[in-house]
Amino acid sequence: MEQAQQSLLDFSKPFDVNLLDSVISTAYNPTHPQRGDANSILMALQQSPDMWTRSDAILEQSNEMMSKYFALSLLDSTIKTRWKILPPEQRSGIKTYIVTKIIELSSVPQSATTRPFIGKLNLTLITVLKQEWPANWPTFISDLVGSSKTGELLCENNMKILCLLSEEVFEFGKEDMTSDKCKKMKESLNEEFTAIYQLCEFILSNSQRQSLLVVTLNTLQRFLTWIPLGFIFQTNLIHTLLDSFFPQPAFRGAALMCLTEIATLSDLEPQYDTLFQSLYIKFLARLGEFLPVNGGWWEGDKSDEDAAFIRQLALFFCGFFKAHLKTLETPSHSVSLLTGLEYLVHISEVPDNEIFKICLDYWHLLSADLYESSHTSTHPSGLHPHQNPHTPQPTLQLGGGQFMRKMQYQKILSGVRHVMISRMAKPEEVLIVEDENGDVVRETTKDTELLAQYKTMKECLVYLTHLNYDDTESIMLQKLSMQVDGSQWSWNNLNTLCWGIGSISGAMNEEEEKRFLVTVIKDLLGLCEKKRGKDNKAIVASNIMYVVGQYPRFLKQHWKFLKTVVNKLFEFMHEVHPGVQDMACDTFLKIAQKCKRKFVTLQATESQPFIVELVNTLPQIISDLEPHQVQAFYESVGTLLSDRGQAVTINRVALLQRLMELPNRSWRMILDNANQNVSSLLDPATIKEVIKILKSNSRVCATVGPLYIHQLKEVFLDMLNIYKVYSERISEAVKQGGAIATRHALTRSMRTVKQEVLKLLSVFIEMSDAPDCGPVDVATGFLPPVLDPILGDYKRNVAEARDAEVLGLFTVVVRKLKGHVEPEVPRIMDAVFEVTLQMITTNFEDFPDHRVKFFGFLRAVNLHCFNSLFQLPAEHQRYVVDSVVWAMKHTGRDISETGLDILYELLQNVSQNPGVAQGFYQQFLLALIRDVLAVLTDRLHKSGFKMHATLLRTMFHLVQENKVTVPLFDPATQPPGQTNVAFLTEHVSSLLLVSFPNLTKTQVTPFVAGLFDLNIDLPTFKVHLRNFLIELTEFQVEDNQGLYDEEKQKVEEEKKRLQMEARSAVPGMIKPSEIEGEMDDDL
Look at residue 539 and tell me whether its pLDDT is greater than 80: yes
Q: Quick check: 1077 pLDDT over 60?
A: no
* Mean pLDDT over the full length of the chain: 88
Measured at the alpha carbon of residue 527, what is the angle toward residues 521 and 532, in degrees to the nearest 5?
150
pLDDT band at 746 (very low <50, low <70, confident <90, very high): very high
Write down the pLDDT at residue 376.
65
pLDDT higher for 1069 or 53? Answer: 53
- 771 prior amide bond cis, ω within 30: yes
Q: How many whole angstroms separate alpha carbon 517 and alpha carbon 170?
A: 54
Task: Please state, in angstroms and as integers, the Cα–Cα distance from residue 1041 to each residue in 174, 1035, 1045, following that order.
Answer: 9, 11, 7
Dist. CA 94–CA 115, nearest whole Å: 21
The pTM is what? 0.76
- Calculate ∠ Cα 616-621-622, nearest 5°: 110
Q: How many CB atoms lie within 10 A of CB 912?
A: 10
Percentage of residues of the chain with pLDDT beyond 70: 94
935-986 pLDDT, tens digit each: 998 878 888 889 999 999 999 999 999 999 999 999 888 888 899 999 999 9
φ and ψ at residue 442, rounded to 5 degrees: -80, 135
Nearest Cα to 1028, choosing from 1044, 1008, 1045?
1008
pLDDT grade for 591, boundaries at 50, 70 and 90: very high
The pLDDT of 837-850, averaged and rounded, is: 87
Q: How many angstroms separate the CA atoms of 1052 and 398, rounded?
A: 35
3-class secondary-structure state, position 1069: coil
- 534 or 727: which leads in pLDDT: 727
- Arithmetic mean of pLDDT, 813-830: 91
Contact 650, 611 (CB under 8 A): yes
pLDDT band at 446 (very low <50, low <70, confident <90, very high): confident
Tell me how far CA of residue 114 lies from CA of 27, 117, 523, 870, in angstroms.
21, 5, 66, 68
Give the residue, 383 or 232, on which the prediction is more confident.
232
pLDDT value, residue 300: 66
Q: Give the pLDDT of residue 703.
A: 95
d(CA 159, CA 152): 10
- State the Cα–Cα distance between residues 736 and 742, nearest whole angstrom: 11
Spatial separation of the C-alpha atoms in residues 182 and 1060, rounded to whole Å: 36
pLDDT class for 394, splitting at 50, 70, 90?
very low
Above pLDDT 90, what percent of the chain? 63
Phi, psi of 436 (to 5 degrees): -65, -15
**Beta partners for 433?**
441
Of 461, 480, 478, residue with least CA distance to 469: 461
Name the residue type at position 917.
A
